[in-house]
Structure 1
Amino acid sequence: MNILLIEDETVIGDMIAMYLTDEGYTVKRVYNGFAGLAALDSFHPDMALIDYVLPDINGIEVCKEIRKYSFMPIIMVSMNTEVSNRVEALLAGADDYLCKPFSMKELVARMVAQLRRYHQVQHHEPVVSQEMANEFIRIDHEFRTIKVNGKEVEMTFSEFEIMKLLSNAPGRVFSREELITYLRGDTTMVNERSIDVHVTKLRNKIEKDPKNPQFIKTVWGIGYKYVLTKDEHKTLKKK
C-alpha cells in the first residue's frame, strides 16, 4: 500500500515514516500541503495521513482538494483535541482524526480499518450498476455518484457510504453504532458525534430543506433511516 504522509514536524514525521515502512507500507513523505497535492499524480497513494497544521496551507484545505479527485481514506493528525477541530476535519472529508501524541500501533490499527472498509467497497461492488431513483435523487452504485435534480453533488467516501447503506434498506433504522462499524470497522475509536456530522453534511447536499429532512430521518435516541415518499419509486437498471 502506498501511504502519502504530509507532516512537517521532523521527529514525528520520521517516526511515522520509519514505522510504516517497517510494517511493509511504501511511504511518500512530504513537508507541506502543496507538495502533498503535487504528489498525488506521481505517487498514486492508497491513503493519506495529513497533519492539521502545515507551513503553507492547512490540512483542512489539503483534505478538501484531495476529495475533489479521490475517495481514498484520509486520516488527519493534530495536537488539537478540540471537538470543533474534529468536526471541521470530518466536514472537509477526513475519515478519521487522531490526536497527538498517539501510539504507532493505534495509528496502524486505524489505517487497517479504513483501508479494509475502502477496499471492501471498491472490490465487492456488484457487476450490475444498481441505481436508486426518484424524481429528486439518483444514486449510481457502480460509478459512486449522486445526482440531485440532475446535478451531480460531491460526496466524501463516508457520506456516499451512509447514503448507500440507508437507501438500500428504506425504512430500516440504523443505529449510530451500526453506522460507525460499517464505516470504520470495529477496531477504530470513533464517537457518535462524527456520524451526526456526516449526516448533517449529507442532508445539506441532498435535502430541499435540510432542517426539515424528507429523506434521511432521525429516529431519536437510536439513529437514522431513509424514507421513501409516496411519489418515489426504485429501479434496478442493468447496463
Structure 2
Amino acid sequence: MSKLLIIDDDSSLTESLSVFFQQHHFDLICANEPQHGYELIGLESPKLVLLDIMMPGIDGFTLCKQIRQAYTLPIIMLTARGRLEDKVHGFELGVDDYLPKPFEPAELLVRVQALLRRSFSEEQRSTEQQGVLFFAGLAIFSAQQIVKVDGEDVHLSGMEFHLLKALASNPGKVFNREQITGVVKGVEVDLYGRSVDILLSRLRQKLNDSVSSPRFIKTIRGVGYTFIATPL
C-alpha cells in the first residue's frame, strides 16, 4: 500500500479517514501533533501529506513552510477556514491542493489519487531514458531488473521479470500461452516441462496479486492473460 500522512489535531477525523483510506488500499499514517507529523515524514517517507491549518503550537502554514524547505512531496491543505487569502497564502507556500472542511472522504480520495498520478507522471518523465514503467502500486526498472510493489522490492527470476515486463509494456493486450512461451524463450531455461499457468501463478504470488480480484494480471478464461494495472 502507498503511504500517506495526515497531520491534524482532530483525532476522530484522522481515525475515520485512516479506516476509509485503508479500504481503498492506502496506508494513512496519523499525527495529531505538528512536530510529530514533521518527524514522521522522515521516518515513514509518505507519498503525500494531508495538512490541517488550525493546530495548536505550530499552525499549518508554518509547518507547510518547514516541509517545503526539506521535501518535495505533494501537500493537500485541509481547513475549516475557507477564506480566499488563506488559499492564496497556502499556494504561495507550496501547497498543491486545498480542501475546505467539512468534506466528503470520497472527494479527498479523488484529489489524492490525482496528485499521486501527477507526481508519478513527472517522475516517470524524468526516468524514461532508464526504461522505468510506473503503474498504480507497481514500478518496473528495466535496466536494473528491479520490481517494486507498493514501494517494496520484489525478487523475481529472470524469466518472471521478462514476462512481467512484456505484459506491462502492452497493457490491455491479451497474451495466449503460445505468445507467453515466445516472450520468455531462452530466458534462464527453456519452458520445456514447465507450465505457463504455473509460471503466471508464481509471478502473481510474488506480486501479491489475486486471481479473483487482480490488481496487475487478469486471466481471460479460455484465452490467456492481460495486464490491467493503471499507468501513472
TM-score (norm 2): 0.53
Matched with 1:85 is 86
Shift of 1:127: 5.8
Shift of 1:124: 1.8
Matched with 1:72 is 73
Using a 3 Å threshold, how does the CA distance of structure 1 residues 13 and 127 change in structure 2: closer, same or farther? closer
Distance 1:113 1:77 in 2: 16
Shift of 1:113: 0.6
Matched with 1:174 is none
Distance 1:17 1:124 in 2: 31
Distance 1:31 1:63 in 2: 15
Q: Identity percentage over the alignment?
A: 27
Matched with 1:2 is 3
Higher relative contact order (CA 8 A, sep 6+): 1
Matched with 1:19 is 20
Using a 3 Å threshold, how does the CA distance of structure 1 residues 24 and 126 change in structure 2: closer, same or farther? closer
Task: Return the letter of the residue paired with 1:40.
Answer: I
Secondary structure (helix, strand or coil) at the match of 1:49 reads: strand
Matched with 1:30 is 31
Task: Return the letter of the residue paired with 2:100.
Answer: C
Shift of 1:11: 2.1
Secondary structure (helix, strand or coil) at the match of 1:97 reads: strand
1:1-239 matches, cutoff 5 A: 1-125=2-126
- After TM superposition, the runs of 4+ consecutive aligned structure 1 residues lying more than 2 A away are none
Structure 1: 5+ residue runs without aligned partners?
A: 129-239
RMSD of aligned residue pairs (Cα, Å): 1.3
Shift of 1:36: 0.8
Structure 2: 5+ residue runs without aligned partners?
A: 130-232
C-alpha distance after superposition, 1:195-214 (max 9, x if no partner): xxxxxxxxxxxxxxxxxxxx
Structure ID, larger Rg:
2
Distance 1:58 1:31 in 2: 12
Secondary structure (helix, strand or coil) at the match of 1:68 reads: helix
Task: Return the letter of the residue paired with 1:33.
Answer: P
> What number of residue pairs does the alignment pair up?
128
